[in-house]
Structure 1
């Protein structure tokens, strides 16, 4: 949530910053601002609204200077308005900064600063940081020392970018439980919340860890510990994906582009893990207490993982939302526990906190992550990458199906190591998995028909998504996608639960989306569909079985696939349905209201 971009070099800073902010829009925001300046004069412009509007209204591209920082804000303290937008500054206006995260002790710090005569202009926790640095600077002429003293008084999560008027050749950045990455250019340096912000200029990245700050000049950088001030040597990572991969490539929205990228992404996930998956399976095979932790769409992937582990490896994992895990499992974790953390960004605050707790308790932690170098990959003992490439749309699509692919590969390898499934069946399943990208391409051919269906459904107020067994998480994910971007109320549930309450909500014309691939619960699902049909529901079925047309108003005919692989294929039409409904209702599917791509606060 929120986005930071910083630049120091020979280019016009405002050009780099505005482009960077545009590439961070997917993180969600309600206001934005920029500060630039080479010498003692700092030009601060900010306001509530969209970047394009503010650029024209405030003249972001007219700002002078070769050093600057920009910010997109998602309000956590103080309502979204011009005053609360970032950058924020101290009493003198010489210390200007932007901040992502939440300062937990800001109220007590603010009270102390007010007593010392500081005057606050905003309601934000961010402004407290600027005044705190100002206060520490009164006892020292060394800005870095004052900054470090101030940082050590903060409690909470924060990524910061700071400019100090008296040091025009430096840019300061800080990371603690909120993502920040450096970009290393030729005679220029960048800092940002995410790599796409500076990928046009360099593919060399340095990922800061929690408790670190960096001092940037146009030709150098140094990273130090907040607590001790000791220099930390950091590796430089070369980013393998290109800026073009992060652009729309002719699609009207990133979400649609990313839906259509799934066949390629699935191939990359398979080939990218083929060599290492066996070693990971061997390392985790002896753990019987297995806990999946995740949030949002990644949580639905974890639910699929549970079914895969049960059916193939004969393991019975627990699946827990990361936000709840910390409070319920602390006394249940030890060195005999395996925690599998699934996070697209590798920066989800609740998931990182769960991983850290697991590590403290001695558990083995396996991360399933998309973003190379992210915090989750540095906490985890083992990491499997999903290789989905950059995903800009807020609603997860290709990162979800690649998570499912990696989980399937892991469950198959576990079953091989443990001897819990027949070799013939596992070989057959592996061969089918190799063909899944082609099956997803077939599923995408329903796009036009789904667009026409969406036109019929666009004014509906409620949807129900149902499935059984391994299709229940697909129902949950389909409902989540619809809620996220179309703003239509939707519930996903096990079809067996219909008669235990939800049937009371069904009436003429209410859409019920039924996920029913061939498998051991197919006939049971038909009975549940008939129950809904008898109440007047409009039945939209996804199945490879033609006979389902008898009880369906609409049948989306799916390719035949093993039931255990069906979640990867069957979610694709649900992604398309959500997308088209959002567009037809006048929504921007890439930037749904009140949501952010990476939730970096708890």
Structure 2
């Protein structure tokens, strides 16, 4: 996994250069699963007029309503069955993929294929998540070069933060004195939190649960005692002070609280740097817990479950 993490800055630059000038449609569904869906959630909280949807649920429940003629379908592999199924729900669609020759890109009603240029990825979504974000930001008029430059410059710092938090989580897991681990974000970093929880759960076989700060405040905070709460809280966040107050409340309630704090970027660009410590956290924990490969119950790509 380490090699894939260290490839992130280079592959991100390649994606940026290859996709500058891209224009993606708005006012349509952006449909994916897992990290593809979470990347679309990030964009929604930038105020972009898109409608993120989970592919499996959209195909079986929502497509009957026939609200849209067009969509953007996101599948990094291009092979995810639930996403491919959704192709038939629309007159035409744009595909966002890492693999250009795939089941999704070979659909007859595909209008455009956008490649994210993440390279080979065998472990959980890291390079592909970052590069999907790059494509989505560029496609809606956000120039992310400064965010990518900062990400590369601070990469060693992110590794240290990830390993430090990972070490504390490892101790709590091994002592078996841990009730739950929550990851909390606001605005665009709700999507970041979802992606962090997915990757950490895959990599450690321990459940991480993500949600927005407002959702956590409405009931979930009652689980704080003997829990770990990791809070994504950029300094320039609209809810920075409110989040600081919540962290104090949680510490007083007996939670172990960690803050992932982007200090330089505006909140709208902070997902590019806020996610990186979680990648290194997952890598550290997988190594320390003796987990050599994240996918043992199923494959990395869900190609057959529920295929009809």
TM-score by length of 1: 0.47
> In the alignment, which of 286, 302, 305 is matched to residue 599 of structure 1?
302
Aligned residue in 1 for 2:275: 571
Aligned counterparts of 1:463 and 1:431: Cα–Cα separation in 2: 33
Q: Residue 262 of structure 1 contacts residue 440 of structure 1 at CA under 8 Å; is this kept in 2?
A: no
Aligned counterparts of 1:574 and 1:500: Cα–Cα separation in 2: 25
Aligned-pair distance for 1:591? Answer: 3.7
Q: Residue 366 of structure 1 contacts residue 382 of structure 1 at CA under 8 Å; is this kept in 2?
A: yes
Deviation string, structure 1 residues 343-383 (Cα, Å, up to 9, x no partner): 1100100000012222xxx2x41111101211222332112
Aligned residue in 2 for 1:77: none
For the pair 1:408 / 2:147, whether they are aligned, the reply is no
Aligned residue in 2 for 1:441: 155
Aligned counterparts of 1:583 and 1:434: Cα–Cα separation in 2: 27
Aligned-pair distance for 1:494? Answer: 0.7
Question: Which is bigger in relative contact order (C-alpha 8 A, separation at least 6)?
Answer: 2
Structure (1 or 2) with the greater strand fraction: 1
Q: Residue 306 of structure 1 contacts residue 319 of structure 1 at CA under 8 Å; is this kept in 2?
A: yes
Aligned residue in 2 for 1:366: 94
> In the alignment, which of 7, 14, 18 is matched to residue 272 of structure 1?
18
Counterparts of 1:499-518 in structure 2, within 5 Å, are 499-508=217-226, 510-517=227-234, 518=236
Aligned-pair distance for 1:499? Answer: 2.7
Deviation string, structure 1 residues 71-93 (Cα, Å, up to 9, x no partner): xxxxxxxxxxxxxxxxxxxxxxx
Aligned residue in 2 for 1:320: 53
Aligned counterparts of 2:144 and 2:198: Cα–Cα separation in 1: 29
Classify 1:440/1:372 alpha carbon distance in 2 versus 1 (closer, same or farther; 3 Å). Answer: farther
Aligned residue in 2 for 1:345: 77
Aligned-pair distance for 1:458? Answer: 3.7
Classify 1:293/1:260 alpha carbon distance in 2 versus 1 (closer, same or farther; 3 Å). Answer: same
Aligned-pair distance for 1:328? Answer: 1.2
Q: Residue 163 of structure 2 contacts residue 281 of structure 2 at CA under 8 Å; is this kept in 1?
A: no
For the pair 1:390 / 2:120, whether they are aligned, the reply is yes
Please list every run of 5 or more consecutive structure 2 residues that lacks an aligned counterpart in the other structure: none
Aligned residue in 2 for 1:519: 237
Deviation string, structure 1 residues 560-580 (Cα, Å, up to 9, x no partner): 222122112111111111222
Aligned-pair distance for 1:454? Answer: 4.5
Please list every run of 5 or more consecutive structure 1 residues that lacks an aligned counterpart in the other structure: 1-254, 413-425, 546-559
Aligned counterparts of 2:269 and 2:51: Cα–Cα separation in 1: 21
> In the alignment, which of 259, 265, 287 is matched to residue 5 of structure 2?
259
Aligned counterparts of 2:119 and 2:157: Cα–Cα separation in 1: 21
Counterparts of 1:95-174 in structure 2, within 5 Å, are none
Q: Residue 147 of structure 2 contacts residue 272 of structure 2 at CA under 8 Å; is this kept in 1?
A: no
Aligned residue in 2 for 1:82: none
Aligned residue in 2 for 1:298: 36
Q: Residue 457 of structure 1 contacts residue 581 of structure 1 at CA under 8 Å; is this kept in 2?
A: no
Aligned counterparts of 1:485 and 1:445: Cα–Cα separation in 2: 16
For the pair 1:543 / 2:222, whether they are aligned, the reply is no
Classify 1:488/1:343 alpha carbon distance in 2 versus 1 (closer, same or farther; 3 Å). Answer: same
Aligned counterparts of 1:440 and 1:398: Cα–Cα separation in 2: 16
Structure (1 or 2) with the greater helix fraction: 2
**Whose radius of gyration is greater, 1 or 2?**
1
Q: Residue 144 of structure 2 contacts residue 269 of structure 2 at CA under 8 Å; is this kept in 1?
A: no
